[in-house]
Amino acid sequence: MAFRLIVASGNAHKIREIKELTAHLDLEIIGLAEAGQVPPVEEDGATFQENAAKKALETARYLGQWVLADDSGLEVDALDGAPGVYSARFAGEGRGDAANNELLLSRLGQLPLEERSAQFRCVMALASPQGELQFSEGVCRGVIGFEPRGANGFGYDPLFIVPELGRTFAELSSEEKNRISHRSRAIEGMLAILSRMGQ
């Protein structure tokens, strides 16, 4: 029988990526929408790790099940690591991806490509109902383009260029993105733990 793992997210894109990345394990991945009514967790941490830990622990205790949570975002070198933990609400709460991308482009102005370096960072936290907690982290380096390109992905994907491929995350297939993304690298760190559960 598959081991049931709740992913503490309502983001369908994120849940699909995690399902794809763990497809070879005997795990039943359930998003928050399928887990029933769960009180929202305020992501008020100063770091990705604090937010991921809080989401995982509070949700695991509430549901009485193992929970995987992540916090991830974009860190732009020229903006001293911003938007960072505020990536999803960079342009304001509820403004959405397009507004966040517009604000990012406006903040970077006409900086040349070599000064637009950035990275996506993902920190994952795995929590048990008893409060056990384990972390993994993944980073993918790139540069911020001058205009959105591509129709795949979400968030800042249309602006984030992977230099060795010359394409944005939004121009990659899900298989290509899953080979190099920050989330796939964080999942790799969790695979040994998850594989023990999915046996």
Residues with a catalytic annotation lie at 71
SS (H, E, C) 64-128: CCCEEEEEEEEEEHHHCCCEHHHHHHCCCCCCCHHHHHHHHHHHHCCCCHHHCEEEEEEEEEEEC
| DSSP-derived secondary structure letter, 31 | E
Radius of gyration of the chain (CA): 17
Strand partners, 72: 122
Q: For residues 2 and 146, what is the distance between their CA atoms, to the nearest angstrom?
A: 45
Q: For residues 67 and 35, what is the distance between their CA atoms, to the nearest angstrom?
A: 11
For 180, residues 6+ apart whose C-beta sits below 8 A from its C-beta are 140, 162
Q: For residues 199 and 191, what is the distance between their CA atoms, to the nearest angstrom?
A: 12
